[in-house]
């Protein structure tokens, strides 16, 4: 699998670290993959070999994450959207399908609704189907409930052990490498999240302000939502998702909805099955004529 790593000047000149995985041919259709909040582009690693059999694939660390620059402001969806367009332009992708996970699904939805000519379609993986305000009455309630754990300074071995307990999948060396991409390790062996706590809250506030229903009503490009369900202890979350889907259908959203049994982190748990669903959608007649227009 041939990879090329490169830097992109995002919105406001913010440096974004990206990579391109070569497809079967230079003119293969494109995919651009946007990871979730407090994640990194490495979450797609297990899916890349399957996707690259048909597509030219571009991933990147969103601002504030991974190996990209970490400004202390400008985390609204207008900036995130402009970053995605900058990556598309820098990679010379011609109307790719954007695939987003969690917060990345919200970013993909925003791009699809606000800049439909930039892409041929959108895939929303376990996100982008309901507004945070549907669950939390106020922003302080949401901030309090969704505050990230304080991990700075935790010994790296303790963090690794906790990862093995937390993830309901076999934590292979490859998956451990993916998880460790979220952290910087200091000289004393303590970890520090690459996404700062302050920037985490800035992104959460942007999510709080996003009107998901209004964006769905604006959709004009083919859109597929792949939602996780049925994992242990997730009955309440599943109910919220189903309520969100019902609201979208009531407002006339054109997005197609499909479900996959598993945890929120489907790219780690079911990389092959998820890649197959993305491939079927992105290569379908509903998307291909749009790409050639």
Chain segment 4-38, per-residue pLDDT in tens: 999 999 999 999 999 999 999 999 999 999 999 99
- Is it the case that residue 293 has pLDDT exceeding 50? no
- Distance separating alpha carbons of residues 291 and 247, to the nearest angstrom: 29
* CATH fold for the domain made of 3-136+196-292: Rossmann fold (3.40.50)
**SS3 state of residue 14:** coil
- Distance separating alpha carbons of residues 167 and 60, to the nearest angstrom: 23
> Element (H or E) spanning 191, and its range?
strand 191-193
β partners of residue 125: 101, 226
* pLDDT for position 288: 64
Instruction: Dump pLDDT digits (tens) for 245-285.
Output: 999 999 899 999 999 999 999 999 999 999 999 999 999 98
User: Given pLDDT bands bounded at 50, 70 and 90, which one contains residue 291?
Assistant: very low
Domain ranges of the chain: 3-136+196-292
- Distance separating alpha carbons of residues 228 and 234, to the nearest angstrom: 10
Torsion (CA) 141, 142, 146, 149 in degrees, nearest 10:
-50
Q: Mean pLDDT check: name the lowest of 84-88, 120-124, 233-237.
A: 233-237
Counting Cβ atoms within 10 Å, is residue 273 exposed (0-12), middle (13-18) or buried (19+)? middle
């Amino acid at each position: 699998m041939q990879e090329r790593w490169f830097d992109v000047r995002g919105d406001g000149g913010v440096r974004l670290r990206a990579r391109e995985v070569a497809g079967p041919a230079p003119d293969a259709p494109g995919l651009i993959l946007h990871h979730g909040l407090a994640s990194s582009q490495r979450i797609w690693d297990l899916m890349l070999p399957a996707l690259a059999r048909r597509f030219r694939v571009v991933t990147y660390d969103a601002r504030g994450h991974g190996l990209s620059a970490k400004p202390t402001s400008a985390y609204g969806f207008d900036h995130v959207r402009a970053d995605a367009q900058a990556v598309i332009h820098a990679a010379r992708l011609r109307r790719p399908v954007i695939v987003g996970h969690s917060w990345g699904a919200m970013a993909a939805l925003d791009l699809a609704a606000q800049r439909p000519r930039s892409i041929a379609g959108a895939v929303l993986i376990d996100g982008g189907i309901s507004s945070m305000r549907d669950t939390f009455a106020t922003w302080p309630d949401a901030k309090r409930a969704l505050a990230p754990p304080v991990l700075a300074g935790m010994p790296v071995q303790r963090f690794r052990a906790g990862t093995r307990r937390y993830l309901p999948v076999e934590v292979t060396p490859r998956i451990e490498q993916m998880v460790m991409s979220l952290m910087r390790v200091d000289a004393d062996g303590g970890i520090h999240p690459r996404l700062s706590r302050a920037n985490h809250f800035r992104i959460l506030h942007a999510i709080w302000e996003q009107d998901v229903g209004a964006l769905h009503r604006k959709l004009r490009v083919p859109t597929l939502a792949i939602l996780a369900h049925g994992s242990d202890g997730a009955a309440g979350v599943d109910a919220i998702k189903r309520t969100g889907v019902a609201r979208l259908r009531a407002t006339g959203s054109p997005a197609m909805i499909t479900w996959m049994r598993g945890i929120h982190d489907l790219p780690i748990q079911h990389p092959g099955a998820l890649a197959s669903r993305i491939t079927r959608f992105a290569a379908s007649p509903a998307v291909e004529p749009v790409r050639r227009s």
